[in-house]
Chain A
Amino acid sequence: RKEVEQDPGPFNVPEGATVAFNCTYSNSASQSFFWYRQDCRKEPKLLMSVYSSGNEDGRFTAQLNRASQYISLLIRDSKLSDSATYLCVVLRNSGNTPLVFGKGTRLSVIA
């Protein structure tokens, strides 16, 4: 079983739509969780961290369920500029440890 699993998509949605991405992780000792965004042929960029209480940043809402080892990202009022690959990312444990990436979910927002 992969350490981080995501639905690869693609998700093709019209502008203004709400879209949700899901992710599961296998290592129950994982400490921290993130969503990154990656544009084609570019490095990944941090979108937001994910906290157990849930957190929101503008049109983006992230949720974490530690019991189910499940992470989600909700994007409201999709914009054309949201088109990208969204990566679910887990930090194995505290300290100087690497980020572990899911395969990513491809989103295309269509006019």
Chain B
Amino acid sequence: GAVVSQHPSRVICKSGTSVKIECRSLDFQATTMFWYRQFPKKSLMLMATSNEGSKATYEQGVEKDKFLINHASLTLSTLTVTSAHPEDSSFYICSARDQLNYGYTFGSGTRLTVV
């Protein structure tokens, strides 16, 4: 089946630094990827929709200058958390839709801790 590879699975960084998270579709082309964030005991909240070759669409309340999304190819989307703060500590997860079988596949998630 369709696989989305997400890296890193876990990262600890210092406040003020930037962290890049990668999501790669391994056996299908993903023209669109979705980025979610999940705080402990909370729902997965959609942050943005990443479109190959164009600008991402951000949900209300999500700062586009803080969460930079790049979708330069049909198989790779990246989320960069810039100038990270402890309140950015969360579980970040991507999802892509396989155009052939219309299923949604999730990456394994990235647990970010900002100290």
* Chain A interfacial positions (CB closer than 8 Å to B): 4, 41-46, 87, 96, 98-104
A43 lies within 8 A of B43 (CB): no
Residue numbers in A under 8 Å from B42 (CB-CB): 103
A98 lies within 8 A of B109 (CB): no
Contact A43 to B103, CB < 8 A, known contacts A102-B43, A103-B42: no
A43 lies within 8 A of B34 (CB): no
Residue numbers in B under 8 Å from A87 (CB-CB): 43-44
B43 lies within 8 A of A99 (CB): no
Residue numbers in B under 8 Å from A43 (CB-CB): 93, 106-109
A104 lies within 8 A of B43 (CB): yes
Q: Which residue of A lies closest to B46 (CB)?
A: A98
Q: Which residue of B lies closest to A92 (CB)?
A: B46
A73 CB, min distance to chain B CBs, angstroms: 16
Residue B75 CB within 8 A of the other chain: no
One digit per residue, 1 when the CB lies within 8 angstroms of any chain A CB and 0 when it does not, for chain B 99-111 equals 0000110111101
Residue numbers in A under 8 Å from B95 (CB-CB): 98-99
Residue numbers in B under 8 Å from A100 (CB-CB): 46
B84 CB, min distance to chain A CBs, angstroms: 20
Residue numbers in B under 8 Å from A101 (CB-CB): 36, 43-45
A103 lies within 8 A of B32 (CB): no
A103 lies within 8 A of B49 (CB): no
Residue numbers in A under 8 Å from B93 (CB-CB): 43
B111 lies within 8 A of A98 (CB): no
A107 CB, min distance to chain B CBs, angstroms: 14
Residue B77 CB within 8 A of the other chain: no
Q: Which residue of B lies closest to A91 (CB)?
A: B104
Q: Which residue of A lies closest to B99 (CB)?
A: A96
One digit per residue, 1 when the CB lies within 8 angstroms of any chain A CB and 0 when it does not, for chain B 22-45 equals 000000000110101000001111
Residue B58 CB within 8 A of the other chain: no
Residue B97 CB within 8 A of the other chain: yes
One digit per residue, 1 when the CB lies within 8 angstroms of any chain A CB and 0 when it does not, for chain B 64-78 equals 000000000000000
A98 lies within 8 A of B49 (CB): yes
* CA of A98 to CA of B97, assembled, Å: 9
A42 lies within 8 A of B108 (CB): yes
